[in-house]
Amino acid sequence: MLSLTSLGAAGTVTGSKHLLTHGDTRILIDCGLFQGLKNLRELNWQRLPVEPRDIDAVVLTHAHLDHCGYLPRLLLDGFSGPIFATAATRDVAELILLDSAWLQEKDAEFANRKGFSKHKPALPLYRVADAERTLAAFRPVPWHRPVALPGGATLRFRRAGHILGAASAQIDVAGRTFAFSGDLGRYDDPVMHPPEAVPEADYVVVESTYGNRRHDRADPVEALGETIERTALRGGTVVIPAFAVGRAQTLIHELWRLREAGRLRNVPTYLDSPMATSATELLHRHAADHKLDPADYEAACAAVTYVRDVEASKALSANRYPKIVISASGMATGGRVLHHIAAFAPDHRNTLLFSGFQAAGTRGRKLLDGARETKIYGQWVSVNAEVAEIPSLSAHADSDELMRWLSGFRRPPQRVFVVHGEPEASEALRERIQRELDWPATVPLQNRNYPL
């Protein structure tokens, strides 16, 4: 008896967890945190509908928090199996999980000190020691080669583009083939290799972040350059909230290309995220996993000022000269970018520039939807700065590119499950799959078991 159950990223973009069950064998594909709207975040505190100790293995497609951030909690609740991932994903997960655990501990401590938690005492979802224990459970998997999973299943990773180490997972079990897209990147990304097709599958689980959108085909670097130049002419600063792993490195490269073309003179770039700085170093360690020439990348990195400590970060907020500040988190839900937004949003000369997907309920989405004020650290901040978006700089395929990846299957699958999208995006991609490919497609309901 074979079945699939999505425990997250079903009708939403975060909390990716897909459970593949065959007899007594349970394999969990991705194990992410819910982010964004409060009712979603609260799901991180509910027990899963499956006992973690009954899960035999986790397959991790990539190390963004919404795909790996629940892993330490899974171990705390009894999971003791291996976690299969590419070597680069394991290294990225180390940055992401240790940072996440540290933030969880700090938030709980802050809530206890200020006494504003319903829970007494407020507890972290997990601690740094739990994240360390999780990292010890990782089993690095080479690209393209079949690897044995529990229960006689096999796993094969192919490149998904998106971010360093990101993979699509083919899992063969009980004579059936499953293809999990993971998060798919863009086919012409300047940093990542393009997504690879999976030749055949009986069941496909595909992401749909931009299932209802087509990215602008114009060069996003041109839009980036224009936005910065327009802001600098006004004497303003451009604040770019960026995912520390993925977008921050692409932005560094694109800004360097603009400088090489003689643009952005006298507008310095600051990377204010210790995690993004470490992630930049990982590109050097995993040189085969991206397209950048080491010498170019060295030059691109040399054109950036790295801000490591908090005092220097605060000084940057106080500096009123035109400049570019790249800082995490990418959806402006936390991190150092918050005090830059607090400092720069009130002045109309500045620009807040979003380049990645902004989930419902996040500060980034509210600002893009036109919010004229935003609450940061308990204080209302008025937003008079320009708020701009270049979605084509995103690390996610648009709907045409999702269709292109799906057209790589040489025979029609029996069913496609459309996940990892907000309801309109998933529904739009589901309709497009049925209309253009005539394949049965379903947007799964969270925690519903689909027998196959």
Pick between residue 179 and residue 245 the one whose CB is nearest to Zn ion: 245
Q: Which of 183, 189, 289, 398 binds Zn ion (CB under 5 A)?
A: 183
Pick between residue 332 and residue 343 the one whose CB is nearest to Zn ion: 332
Amino acid at 201: A
Give the nearest distance from C-beta 318 to Zn ion in angstroms. Answer: 33
Tell me the window of 175-183, 228-236, 305-313, 380-388 that interacts with Zn ion (CB under 5 A). 175-183
Pick between residue 28 and residue 228 the one whose CB is nearest to Zn ion: 28
Give the nearest distance from C-beta 270 to Zn ion in angstroms. Answer: 24
Give the nearest distance from C-beta 353 to Zn ion in angstroms. Answer: 20
Nearest CA-CA partner of 195 in 164, 165, 167, 214 = 167
Tell me the window of 53-61, 183-191, 225-233, 352-360 that interacts with Zn ion (CB under 5 A). 183-191
Pick between residue 169 and residue 232 the one whose CB is nearest to Zn ion: 169
Pick between residue 313 and residue 426 the one whose CB is nearest to Zn ion: 426
Pick between residue 18 and residue 64 the one whose CB is nearest to Zn ion: 64
Tell me the window of 61-69, 233-241, 334-342, 402-410 that interacts with Zn ion (CB under 5 A). 61-69
Give the nearest distance from C-beta 395 to Zn ion in angstroms. Answer: 7
Distances in Å between the Cα of 404 and the Cα atoms of 90, 202, 242, 399, 407 are 28, 18, 27, 9, 5
Give the nearest distance from C-beta 64 to Zn ion in angstroms. Answer: 3
Tell me the window of 22-30, 42-50, 57-65, 277-285 that interacts with Zn ion (CB under 5 A). 57-65
Tell me the window of 33-41, 56-64, 83-91, 285-293 that interacts with Zn ion (CB under 5 A). 56-64
Pick between residue 243 and residue 417 the one whose CB is nearest to Zn ion: 243
Give the nearest distance from C-beta 79 to Zn ion in angstroms. Answer: 22
Pick between residue 164 and residue 224 the one whose CB is nearest to Zn ion: 164
Q: Which residue(s) pair with 58 in the sheet?
A: 28, 83
Give the nearest distance from C-beta 401 to Zn ion in angstroms. Answer: 15
Q: Which of 18, 22, 26, 64 binds Zn ion (CB under 5 A)?
A: 64
Q: How far apart are CA 313 and CA 326, in angstroms?
A: 11
Give the per-residue contact string, 6-45, with Zn ion (x = CB under 5 A; - = no). Answer: ----------------------------------------
Give the chain's radius of gyration (CA, Å). 21
Pick between residue 245 and residue 326 the one whose CB is nearest to Zn ion: 245
- Burial of 145: CB neighbours in 10 Å, binned 0-12, 13-18, 19+: exposed
Count of residues in contact with Zn ion, rule CB under 5 A? 2
What residues contact 345, with CB distance under 8 A and at least 6 apart? 352, 374, 381, 382, 383, 384, 385
Tell me the window of 2-10, 64-72, 87-95, 417-425 that interacts with Zn ion (CB under 5 A). 64-72
- Asked if residue 186 binds Zn ion (CB under 5 A), the reply is no
Tell me the window of 176-184, 276-284, 315-323, 371-379 that interacts with Zn ion (CB under 5 A). 176-184
Give the nearest distance from C-beta 420 to Zn ion in angstroms. Answer: 9
Give the nearest distance from C-beta 183 to Zn ion in angstroms. Answer: 4
Pick between residue 183 and residue 254 the one whose CB is nearest to Zn ion: 183
Q: Which residues bind Zn ion (CB under 5 A)?
A: 64, 183
